[in-house]
Chains A and B, each alone.
Chain A
Amino acid sequence: MKTFILQPLTTATLVLILTTPISGLVLNGYDFNLKWQPPLLLALTAFFLHLGLMILNRRTTQKKSASSQKTSHHPAWPRLATILLPLLGLILPFLLGKYWLTIAILALIYILLGLGLNIVVGLAGMLDLGFVAFYAVGAYGFALGQEYLGLSFWAAIPLGAVLAATFGVILGFPVLRMHGDYLAIVTLGFGEIIRLVLNNWITFTGGPNGVRVDFPTLFGLEFSRHAKQGGTPLHEFLGIDYSSNHRYLFLYLTLFLVVLATIFLITRLKRMPLGRAWEALREDETACRSLGINHVTVKLSAFALGAMTGGIGGVFFAVSQGFVNPTSFTFHESALILAIVVLGGLGSIPGVISAAIIVTVLPELLRDFSDYRILIFGLAMVGMMIWRPQGLVRTTRPVFQGL
Chain B
Amino acid sequence: MTTLLQVNHLNMRFGGVVALNDCNFQVEKNSITALIGPNGAGKTTAFNCITGFYRANQGQLHFFPPNRPSVNLIQLLGQPFTWTDPIHPRRTLKKLGYKLFGGPHRIARAGIARTFQNVRLFKEMTVLENLLVAQHRQLVGHFLSGILNAKNFRKAENNALDHAMKWLAFFQLTTEANRLAGQLPYGHQRRVEIARALCTDPILLCLDEPAAGLNPQETKALSQLIRRLQKELHLTILLIEHDIGLVMELSDHVIVLDYGEVIAQGPPAAVQQNQKVLEAYLG
Contact of B133 among A286, A293, A294, A400 (CB under 8 A): A293
Chain A residue with the shortest CB-CB distance to B135: A273
* Contact residues in B for A280 (Cβ distance below 8 Å): 122, 125, 130, 133
Q: Assess whether A222 is interfacial by the CB under 8 Å rule.
A: no
The interface centre, meaning the residue of B114, B136, B197 with most chain A CB atoms within 10 A of its CB, is: B136
Inter-chain CA distance A294–B120, complex, in Å, is 17
Chain A residue with the shortest CB-CB distance to B110: A292
Known: A71-B161, A400-B178. A291 touches B123 (CB 8 A): no
Chain A residue with the shortest CB-CB distance to B201: A292
Question: CB-CB contacts of A389-403 with B at 8 A, as 1s and 0s?
Answer: 000000001111001
Known: A288-B133, A294-B105. A279 touches B124 (CB 8 A): yes
Q: Assess whether A283 is interfacial by the CB under 8 Å rule.
A: yes
Within 8 A of A (CB), among B186-201: 196-197, 199-200
Q: Are A286 and B116 in contact (CB under 8 A)?
A: yes
Closest CB in chain A relative to B87 CB, distance in Å? 28
Q: Are A71 and B154 in contact (CB under 8 A)?
A: yes
Known: A289-B103, A397-B129. A403 touches B140 (CB 8 A): no
Inter-chain CA distance A355–B46, complex, in Å, is 49
Known: A71-B154, A276-B136, A399-B178. A283 touches B125 (CB 8 A): yes
Q: Assess whether B239 is interfacial by the CB under 8 Å rule.
A: no
Closest CB in chain B relative to A74 CB, distance in Å? 10
Chain B residue with the shortest CB-CB distance to A297: B101
Closest CB in chain A relative to B20 CB, distance in Å? 20
Closest CB in chain B relative to A301 CB, distance in Å? 10
Question: CB-CB contacts of B122-158 with A at 8 A, as 1s and 0s?
Answer: 1111101110111111011011001101000110011
Q: Are A284 and B101 in contact (CB under 8 A)?
A: no
Known: A70-B161, A274-B140, A287-B120. A295 touches B126 (CB 8 A): no
Q: Are B105 and A276 in contact (CB under 8 A)?
A: no
Q: Are B104 and A290 in contact (CB under 8 A)?
A: yes
Q: Are B121 and A287 in contact (CB under 8 A)?
A: yes
Inter-chain CA distance A129–B38, complex, in Å, is 46
Q: Are A287 and B116 in contact (CB under 8 A)?
A: yes
* Contact residues in A for B177 (Cβ distance below 8 Å): 400, 403
Which of A52-60, A264-272, A310-318, A376-384 faces chain B? A264-272
The interface centre, meaning the residue of A265, A268, A280 with most chain B CB atoms within 10 A of its CB, is: A280
Count of chain B residues with a beta carbon within 8 Å of a chain A beta carbon: 50
Q: Are B140 and A291 in contact (CB under 8 A)?
A: no
Contact of A268 among B104, B147, B158, B196 (CB under 8 A): B147
Contact of A292 among B128, B174, B200 (CB under 8 A): B200
Within 8 A of B (CB), among A62-103: 70-71
* Contact residues in B for A399 (Cβ distance below 8 Å): 126, 178
Q: Are B105 and A286 in contact (CB under 8 A)?
A: no
Chain B residue with the shortest CB-CB distance to A292: B108
Q: Assess whether B203 is interfacial by the CB under 8 Å rule.
A: no
Q: Assess whether B13 is interfacial by the CB under 8 Å rule.
A: no
Q: Are A403 and B161 in contact (CB under 8 A)?
A: yes
Inter-chain CA distance A273–B199, complex, in Å, is 14
Closest CB in chain B relative to A63 CB, distance in Å? 9
Inter-chain CA distance A293–B120, complex, in Å, is 15
Q: Assess whether B165 is interfacial by the CB under 8 Å rule.
A: yes
Chain B residue with the shortest CB-CB distance to A63: B178
Q: Are B146 and A284 in contact (CB under 8 A)?
A: no
Q: Are A272 and B147 in contact (CB under 8 A)?
A: yes
Inter-chain CA distance A400–B158, complex, in Å, is 10
Inter-chain CA distance A280–B124, complex, in Å, is 9
* Contact residues in A for B200 (Cβ distance below 8 Å): 291-292
Inter-chain CA distance A52–B126, complex, in Å, is 27
Within 8 A of B (CB), among A246-273: 265, 268-269, 272-273
Q: Are B126 and A398 in contact (CB under 8 A)?
A: yes
Inter-chain CA distance A293–B103, complex, in Å, is 10
Known: A276-B129, A296-B101. A286 touches B120 (CB 8 A): yes
Please list the 5 inter-chain residue pairs (A to B) with the smallest Cβ-Cβ separation, ordered nearest first. Answer: A292-B108, A283-B122, A287-B120, A273-B139, A272-B146
Q: Mind listing 30 A-B residue pairs with CB under 8 Å? A: A70-B161, A265-B147, A268-B147, A273-B133, A274-B146, A277-B133, A280-B130, A280-B133, A282-B124, A283-B121, A283-B124, A284-B121, A284-B123, A286-B120, A287-B116, A288-B105, A288-B133, A291-B196, A291-B197, A291-B199, A291-B200, A292-B105, A292-B108, A292-B134, A293-B105, A293-B137, A295-B105, A397-B126, A397-B129, A403-B177
